[in-house]
Chains A and B, each alone.
Chain A
Amino acid sequence: MTDKQYINRVMHHLHLPGDLRDRVREDLTQDIRAALENGETMEQIIDRMGKPYHLATELEQNYLGECAPMPKGKKFLRVAAIIAIIASAFSLLSNGIKMLILNSIANEAASIGIIGGADGPTSIFVTTTIAPMWKIIAQPALAVVVIVAAIIILRKTKR
């Protein structure tokens, strides 16, 4: 097993938050390199550090053993944030589709209007359907704000 393979296997078995994983990868890379430079073989290093699964388990137990499990409130907040992201993304998507449909109706209506000259009822229909402009902008804007807020919550509540 090469040093890279060993580190990748440790990382595969390691279930810790992202920033800790980065630190473990950096330190392992550095320390294996130092050990190799010091004349140790990869077999000796694995003997000393332990097999990938064992090292990953030891790291998790020693780190998480000292940390309190995530409080329930925090967990609930994270779940709520994820639901908010999904709901807002869905609302954005459906809004986009609605806009596309309305746009095509408006274009059609406009062309009818041009062909048929002054077409009063059509223009009234189009304006009343699309009209409240603030509604069209406010809904997706609110969805974007909710998504950004939820992402911030997810990042802040990361262990």
Chain B
Amino acid sequence: MDAKYERQMKKGVLEMLVLHMVCQGQTYGYEICTRLDKQSGGLFAMKEGTLYPILYRLQDEGLIESRWSVPDGRGAAKKYYEATAAGQQTSKELIALWKSFGDNVDRIIFGGKDND
């Protein structure tokens, strides 16, 4: 199969997945990459070159925000991303949209002629 199709499909869901990850609790780039890789069995393995622009777009749209943790003791300050209220709401709406997409695509492809 042409890798182009896979890339296009992934592109559509990566933003939703990254927003969902941030909505689950404060996190940072490395953690998002490793969790996505692990939880998708490598299908959504993402490089920083792809992740950062997604994070910056979500941040510019006011869906997530970054903050620096206050270091305890000698440790360095860490930059975390966390979802705003608008981000939580958008994430819910995106997941509902994904569900509706999936159900309809499934019905069209696997539902047979009776469901047309």
Task: Find chain A residues with CB under 8 A from B55 CB.
Answer: 27
* B28 contacts partner chain A, Cβ-Cβ < 8 Å: yes
A66 to B79, CA, bound (A): 25
* B50 contacts partner chain A, Cβ-Cβ < 8 Å: yes
Most chain A CB inside 10 Å of its own CB: which residue of B31, B34, B49, B55: B49
Task: Find chain A residues with CB under 8 A from B31 CB.
Answer: 34
Most chain A CB inside 10 Å of its own CB: which residue of B28, B47, B53, B79: B53
A24 to B66, CA, bound (A): 13
Task: Find chain B residues with CB under 8 A from A31 CB.
Answer: 28-30, 33, 48
A136 to B48, CA, bound (A): 57
A20 to B55, CA, bound (A): 11
Chain B interface bracket (under 10, 10 to 19, 20 to 34, 35 or more): 10 to 19
> What 0/1 pattern do residues 42 to 62 of A give for CB contact below 8 A with B?
000000111000110111001
Question: From residue A40, how far is it (CB to closest CB) to chain B in Å?
Answer: 9
* A75 contacts partner chain B, Cβ-Cβ < 8 Å: no
Task: Find chain B residues with CB under 8 A from A50 CB.
Answer: 47, 49
* B76 contacts partner chain A, Cβ-Cβ < 8 Å: yes
* B98 contacts partner chain A, Cβ-Cβ < 8 Å: no
Question: From residue B93, how far is it (CB to closest CB) to chain A in Å?
Answer: 20
Among candidates A20, A34, A58, residue contacting B56 with C-beta atoms closer than 8 Å? A20
Q: Which of B1-45 contact A (CB under 8 A)?
A: 28-31, 33-34
* B78 contacts partner chain A, Cβ-Cβ < 8 Å: yes
Question: From residue A66, how far is it (CB to closest CB) to chain B in Å?
Answer: 7
Question: Quick check: A59 and B29 within 8 Å, CB to CB?
Answer: no
> What 0/1 pattern do residues 10 to 41 of A give for CB contact below 8 A with B?
00000000001001101110110111001000
A-B contact pairs, 16 of them (CB 8 A): A23-B52, A27-B52, A28-B48, A30-B78, A30-B79, A31-B29, A48-B47, A49-B48, A54-B49, A58-B49, A62-B50, A62-B52, A62-B53, A62-B54, A63-B53, A63-B56
* B→A interface (CB under 8 Å): 28-31, 33-34, 47-50, 52-57, 76, 78-79
